[in-house]
Amino acid sequence: MTSFSGSFAARHALLATSAIFIFSALPTIAHAAGTRAGTVISNTASATFDNGGGSTTVNSNTNTLTVDELIEIDVDWSDSADVVTTPGATSQPLKFQVTNNGNGVETYGLATVSTIGGDNYDPSVTQIVIDDGDGVYEPGQDTIYVPGSNDPVLNPDQSITVFVLSTTPGGLADGDRGGVQLTATSKTGTGAPGTSFAGAGEGGGNAVLGTSGGDDSDNGFYIVSSANVSIAKSATVLDPFGGTGVVPGSTITYTLVATTTGSGNLPNLVISDAVPTGTTYVPGSITLGGTAQSDANDADAGRFGSGTVTVNLGTVAGGQTRTITFKATVN
């Protein structure tokens, strides 16, 4: 039995708990797009009773509310880690997700800023590209974004992948980090959350800015990975008499130690050294890491031709050493 006093107490309990309800409700707004803009909510209660004439039902008045468009946008950098780049590299993609968390169709403009601070360098953004839906950057297949011309139009809950392509400046050090900020801005407008744009919502209602305020940004990062090689050359001499004099007939053993540094790779690292004039190369004397190499231009790494010793080391990661030796006799 609900009496007057009972409902009065209930009302007080209701108001006392309202603050808690509000806090718990906030995340709901950010997650799902929610009821589509323009939806009409109607509420009617009914009462059945018997006052002697049998069971009777009466309906209340009907309250109707219209759901306005809530503009809610989310931009999220979605690479799992910093994107590895090398000095001078072009069209390196950063991957972002742009999601319409609002409840109406909305058009968004995209823009980038690379002077975000807190990083080591500013990548030079060359293009924004809208993915064709597979989440993989494919030049020529994905669509190049042109502001004002092909601004993405997103349905509620729809998410698109956007790639930001940049050129990495030359002369950067290994481990340098550079960030780019991508911003998506509602074409309806931006402002403080709760700002209402009369008649601008889907279905002709108002458009109301949600917690994002009509725009959202996120930063994506590149990390420079480079490697360097240094070569130390030394020679030992064995003369025909068992000494170390450089006389005709002495054999000189040259040792080249290539040392790589840095976090990157050196692709197709080739070491070549011309046999000094006044000496003659000793055929079949090339070794790599202690293993003999043939002089022919064949499957193994070493070869000799045109008076030059050449060793193809392939791709060498930073932090390694390769030791090459060859011999020549003094004429």
Binding site for another protein (CB under 8 A): 1-4, 7, 10-11, 13-14, 17-19, 21-22, 25-26, 28-29, 32-35, 39, 41-53, 55-56, 58-63, 65-70, 103, 205-206, 208, 210
Cβ 183 to another protein, closest distance in Å?
23
Cβ 11 to another protein, closest distance in Å?
7
Choose between 63 and 297: whose C-beta lies nearer to another protein: 63
Choose between 66 and 320: whose C-beta lies nearer to another protein: 66
Cβ 15 to another protein, closest distance in Å?
8
Cβ 56 to another protein, closest distance in Å?
5
Please, are residues 310 and 293 in contact by the beta-carbon 8 Å criterion? Answer: no
Cβ 31 to another protein, closest distance in Å?
10
- For residue 24, what are the contacts with CB-CB under 8 A and spacing of at least 6? none
Cβ 62 to another protein, closest distance in Å?
7
- What does the alpha-carbon distance between residue 208 and residue 222 come to, in Å, rounded to a whole number? 36
- For residue 240, what are the contacts with CB-CB under 8 A and spacing of at least 6? 247, 249, 250
**β-sheet bridge partners, residue 179:** 221
Choose between 120 and 159: whose C-beta lies nearer to another protein: 159
Q: Which amino acid is at 150?
A: N
Q: b/e for 189-198, b at 16 or more Cβ within 10 A? A: beeeeeebbe
Choose between 45 and 136: whose C-beta lies nearer to another protein: 45
Q: Which amino acid is at 124?
A: S
- What does the alpha-carbon distance between residue 47 and residue 30 come to, in Å, rounded to a whole number? 37
Choose between 199 and 290: whose C-beta lies nearer to another protein: 199
Choose between 74 and 142: whose C-beta lies nearer to another protein: 74
54 sits in the region (left: phi over 0; alpha: psi -120 to 50; else beta) called left
Task: Count Cβ atoms within 10 A of the Cβ of residue 257 and give its class: 0-12 exposed, 13-18 middle, 19 or more buried.
Answer: middle
**β-sheet bridge partners, residue 169:** none
